[in-house]
Amino acid sequence: MQALYAQLLVGLINGSFYALLSLGLAVIFGMLNIINFAHGALYMMGAFCAYFLLELAGIGYWGALIIAPIVVGIFGMFLERTLLKWLTGLDHLYGLLLTFGIALIVQGVFQNYFGSSGLPYAIPDQLKGGMNLGFMFLPIYRGWVVVFSLVICLATWYLIERTRLGAYLRAATENPTLVRAFGINVPRMITLTYGLGVGLAALAGVLSAPINQVRPLMGADLIIVVFAVVVIGGMGSIMGSIITGFALGVIEGLTKYFYPEASNTVVFVLMVLVLLVKPTGLTGRAA
Amino acid sequence: MKPKSIVSLLLGTALTLALAGAASADDKVVKIGSLSDQSGLYADLSGPGSTVAAQMAVEDSGLTGKGWKIDIISGDHQNKPDIGTSIARQWFDVDKVDIIVDVPNSGVALAVNNVVKEKNGVYINSGAATSDLTNAQCSPNTVHWTYDTYMLAHATGQALVKAGGDTWFFLTADYAFGQALERDTTAVVLANGGKVVGSVKHPLNTSDFSSFLLQAQSSKAKIIGLANAGGDTTNTIKQAAEFGIVKGGQKLAALLLFLTDVKAIGLETAQGLNFTETFYWDMNDQTRAFSKRFSERMKNGAPPTMVQAGVYAGILHYLKALEALGGNPHDGLKVVDKMKSMPTDDPLFGKGAIQPNGRTIHNAYLFEVKKPSESKGPWDFYKLVGTVPGEEAFTPLSESKCPLLKK
């Protein structure tokens, strides 16, 4: 029974990464109608950004947590302005292909210079060590990841669903021409939204740097699972992606305990089941 | 057609074939295919670096100066046996490749083993670990260089059990390699009076090991044996440190650890790990000289891993055999027989021999990862703690199940 609690908690930790990443995807899809396959590559760039800040500028983890999302977010906005904006109004497939291509190029460039086995990034001193919870030894850093990403997820949800800015955003997705007529700069708002989604990916990258290796393919391995999470939660649904992110982390954790061989596939089996029963995803509205 | 013209046609054909046969028996053209994981979790320990090693072997053999034409091509098997075998088939059928080298990932390596045998090519495997390549699934066309699971299990496993680590829990990569390594190490642990209390199999290329590590932790085993490799091993070790496994009194046995893995983990976390390799760049003047030339050609300046060193040594020996034959017969059986009849001697592995089952015998070394304070350079990682002579390190012929030995 104790082992079960431990696995639940570990699942929650993985779930925080799924939630952060799928949240970014949901924001981008909901507002821009783009299936952002470059998300994994941008997540990886966040982790590399943290590494460079430390190695080249001596800026540690806490600085990276703020700077990396901004830097990568600006890169994302540049992508949106130069490439993605030309795809407005076209089929989803074009956005998917373009962002997939961008992901391959970015990963290829990083792999060319840094190889595939990754670079070490230490846990910040303040979060080193762990505490004994009785049923398991919880590394403090992992606890921090769960709490921090939960706060970020809820803050993003609040921003989009409960504030005036969020209302503008949602209105601009529904009817950009009308919102423009009210004197709101819709293209700029869309660029900033993409920047926000990308920034969330980079933030997840910084969070994961001390846990996983900082390596060029870290995002490519994760992105497929995260897409499954988004599909299960319902494309574009903010709360849906947060909840499914955490929930699937837990389910995956339990699978690792009861039948580890299936831990790679359980998410996809669930995806198939959900698509069969409710094709719009658990919280998605019919298109 | 008149009978006479049929005869002359047949004669003509026979003559042409005979001439073609004679021409190919004497030619000095060689094509080497370096088949590897070029971008995945094993790319740094083999991959593009193995192709560099192959090029250096060709240059150092001196054969190109003696009128030989030697080409090297490379391919990416993406750790998928079906892709590996289709590349191998295409290489033999279309590109007229004579020899395939490297091939990390035991699953792919065993699949390619069959193709090379069927096509009568030459196969020098340096990247894969499974001891089955020279055991139950041995082939007259295959030479296995560098290391295998038997060697890893015996060198590292035995040393740890003798040092008091008598209860084991395995974290195993769920494919041919992990299973072979767990099997071979279990045999060693049991033979030395130890006990295996459990094991968990994880999918290849996993990024989060916390669930598996918690199971290992609660097993209370003294030794947690890592029957995995590359990125899987580095992630396991890094995360084990996070969960306080070593501080809690359990010891990690990285059964297979490469130079590039230690780099990725960082000395702070990796220090004190014991493991076995057959080559380290900083062993002697010859290995240092080779490694210097090698790292100058690498984009990230990395010195060679033992797999890449094995590719170099294997090709060097192959080319020596071809030179002794006086030309390339394009006949895998003949070339491998010649290779087995000659003692091996190269600057990286020293003197050795190839056994009838295809296993190359050379020394193995027990290393310990240095403390950060002991390391003097960016790749100064290992301390030599023991040497296992080749005859003791690898499967004794009396224990080998290779059908070739029954002749």
Q: What is the CATH number of the domain that holds B85?
A: 3.40.50.2300
Q: Is residue B16 part of a domain?
A: no
Q: What b/e sequence results for B91-121 when a residue is b if at least 16 CB atoms lie within 10 Å of its CB, and e otherwise?
A: bbeeeebbbbbbbbbbbbbbbbbebbbebbb
Residue A134: its pLDDT value, please?
Answer: 79
Find the Cα–Cα–Cα–Cα dihedral B336, B341, B342, B344, rounded to 10°. Answer: 70
Quick one: B44 and B189 in the same domain? no
Q: Domain check: are B316 and B373 in the same one?
A: no
All residues of chain A having their beta carbon less than 8 Å from the beta carbon of residue B206 are 263-264
Name the residue of chain A whose CA is nearest to B261's CA: A117
* d(CA B6, nearest CA chain A) in Å: 60
Rounded CA separation B62/A179 (Å): 74
Task: Write out the residue range of the structural domain in which residue A29 sits.
Answer: 2-277
**A280 touching chain B per CB within 8 A:** no
Residue B367 has φ and ψ, to the nearest 5°, of -120, 160
Whether the pTM exceeds 0.80: the reply is yes
In 10 A of CB B22, how many CB atoms? Answer: 10
B39 three-class SS: coil
Is A171 within a domain? yes
Q: What is the pLDDT of residues A3-51, one digit of tens each?
A: 788 888 888 988 999 999 999 998 888 878 888 999 999 999 999 999 9
> How many pairs of residues across A and B have Cβ atoms under 8 Å apart?
117
Cα(B63)–Cα(B88) distance, rounded to whole angstroms?
25
**Which neighbouring-strand residues pair with B251?**
B223
Pick from A118, A130, A264: which is nearest to B234 by CB? A118
Could you tell me the pLDDT band of residue B23, with boundaries at 50, 70 and 90?
very low
Domain shared by B272 and B293, yes or no: no
pLDDT in tens, B339-389: 999 999 999 999 999 999 999 999 999 999 999 999 999 899 999 999 999
**In chain A, which residues have their Cβ closer than 8 Å to the Cβ of B218?**
2-3, 6
Q: Do A3 and B214 touch (CB under 8 A)?
A: yes
CB-nearest to B218 from A3, A141, A261 is: A3
Quick one: pLDDT band at residue B21, thresholds 50, 70, 90?
Answer: very low
The pLDDT value recorded for residue B13 is 55
Tens digits of residue pLDDT in B36-82:
999 888 898 999 999 999 999 999 999 999 999 999 999 999 999 99
- Give chain A's domain count: 1
Note whether B369 and B246 are same-domain residues: yes
Contact B202 A260 (CB under 8 A): yes
Between CA B360 and CA A52 the distance in angstroms is: 43
Residues B216 and B331 both lie in one domain: no
Per-residue confidence (pLDDT) for residue B22, from 0 to 100: 45
B402 found inside a domain:
no
Same domain, B186 and B330: no
Domain presence at residue A266? yes
Chain B CB contacts of A14 under 8 Å are 208, 210
Nearest CA in chain A to B174: A261
Whether A287 is in a domain gets the answer no
Residue of A13, A104, A106, A117 for testing the chain B interface, max B β-carbons within 10 Å: A117
The 10 Å Cβ neighbour count of residue A82 is: 9
Domain membership flag for residue B42: yes
Q: Is residue B293 part of a domain?
A: yes
B254 — phi, psi (to 5°)? -80, 95
C-alpha pair distances (Å), B355 with each of A26, B150, B314: 59, 15, 14
Helices (H), B67-202: 81-93, 106-118, 149-152, 158-162, 176-191
Amino acid at A8: L
Instruction: Establish if B13 belongs to a structural domain.
Output: no
> What pLDDT does A79 receive?
94
Using beta carbons and an 8 Å cutoff, which residues of B are at the interface with A? 39-41, 43-45, 47, 174, 200-203, 205-208, 210-212, 214-215, 217-218, 230-231, 234-235, 238-239, 242-244, 248, 260-261, 263-266, 268-269, 299-300, 302
| Closest CA in chain B for residue A6 | B214
In terms of domains, do B274 and B287 share one?
Answer: no
- Asked if A26 reaches chain B (Cβ–Cβ under 8 Å), the answer is no
Q: Are B44 and A116 in contact (CB under 8 A)?
A: yes
CA distance A124 to A223: 26
Does residue B212 register a pLDDT over 70?
yes
Q: Please indicate, yes or no, if residue A138 is contained in any of the structural domains.
A: yes
Angstroms from B9 CA to nearest CA on chain A: 56
Where residue B289 falls among pLDDT bands split at 50, 70, 90?
Answer: very high
The residues of chain A scoring below 50 in pLDDT are 287
Instruction: Report which residue type is found at B280.
Output: Y
User: Residue B7: pLDDT above 60?
Assistant: no
Are the CB atoms for B357 and B398 separated by under 8 Å?
Answer: no
Same domain membership, residue B187 and residue B119 = no
Which pLDDT does position B41 carry in this prediction?
Answer: 82
Examine residue A239 and state whether it is found in any structural domain, yes or no: yes
Residue of B nearest to A128 (CA): B242
Mean of pLDDT values over B218-239? 92
Q: Cα dihedral angle (A217, A219, A221, A226), rounded to 10 degrees?
A: -170
| B240 and B269 share one domain | yes
Nearest-by-Cβ selection for B214 from A111, A113, A136:
A136
B139-164 mean pLDDT? 93
Residue A115 touches partner B, C-beta closer than 8 Å: yes
Number of domains in chain B: 2
**Which chain A residue has its CA at the smallest distance from B48's CA?**
A115
Dihedral of the alpha carbons of B240, B243, B246, B250, in degrees to the nearest 10: -90
Measure CA A9 to chain center: 20
ipTM field: 0.81
Of A120, A137, A261, the CB nearest to B265: A120
Q: Which of B203, B214, B266 sits opposite A120 (nearest CB)?
A: B266
Same domain, yes or no: B233 and B342: no
Which pLDDT score, from 0 to 100, does residue B20 have? 47
Among the listed residues A107, A109, A97, the one whose alpha carbon sits nearest the alpha carbon of residue A41: A107
Contact B214 A10 (CB under 8 A): yes
Residue A181: is it exposed, middle or buried by C-beta count within 10 angstroms (0-12/13-18/19+)? exposed
Among left, alpha and beta (phi > 0; psi -120 to 50; other), residue B193 is left
Shortest distance between the Cα of A188 and any Cα of chain B, in A, equals: 37
Q: Is residue A282 part of a domain?
A: no
Look at residue B262 in the predicted model and tell me its pLDDT: 93
User: Is residue A284 a part of any domain in this protein?
Assistant: no
- Pull the structure tokens for residue A40: 């994994």
The per-residue pLDDT for A284 is 67
Which residue in chain B has the smallest CA separation from A217?
B40
Burial (CB < 10 A; 0-12, 13-18, 19+), residue B377, is exposed
pLDDT score recorded for residue A33: 83
Same domain as B379, residue B240: yes
Torsion angles phi and psi, residue A37, rounded to 5: -75, -10
Whether residue B14 lies inside any domain: the answer is no
Residues of B in contact with A213 (CB under 8 A): 231, 234-235, 238, 264
Q: 3-state SS string over chain A?
A: CHHHHHHHHHHHHHHHHHHHHHHHHHHHHHHHCCCCCCHHHHHHHHHHHHHHHHHHHCCCHHHHHHHHHHHHHHHHHHHHHHCHHHHCCCCHHHHHHHHHHHHHHHHHHHHHHHCCCCECCCCCHHHCCEEECCCCEEEHHHHHHHHHHHHHHHHHHHHHHHCHHHHHHHHHHHCHHHHHHCCCCHHHHHHHHHHHHHHHHHHHHHHHCCCCCECCCHHHHHHHHHHHHHHHHCCCCHHHHHHHHHHHHHHHHHHHHHCHHHCCCHHHHHHHHHHHHCCCCCCCCCC
Using an 8 Å CB-CB cutoff, list chain A residues near B243: 130, 137, 139
Mark whether B186 and B274 lie in a shared domain.
yes
B8 falls within a domain? no
Phi-psi region of B230 (alpha: psi -120 to 50; beta: other; left: phi over 0): left
Mutation target among B214, B228, B260, B300 for the A interface, most CBs of A within 10 A: B214
Give me the pLDDT at residue B19, please.
47
Q: Check residue A266 and give left, alpha or beta (phi > 0: left; psi -120 to 50: alpha).
A: alpha
Whether chain B has a CB inside 8 Å of the CB on A137: the answer is: yes
- Residue B399 maps to a domain: no
CATH number at residue A184: 1.10.3470
Chain A residue nearest residue B40, CA to CA? A116
Instruction: Provide the edge-to-edge strand list for the sheet that holds B350-354.
Output: B344-346, B350-354, B360-361
Domain holding B87, by residue range, is 28-147+283-363
Residues composing chain A: 287
Distance of alpha carbon A40 from alpha carbon B208, whole angstroms:
16
Query: In this structure, is residue A260 part of a structural domain?
Result: yes
pLDDT in tens, B310-326: 999 999 999 999 999 99
CA distance A38 to A109: 14
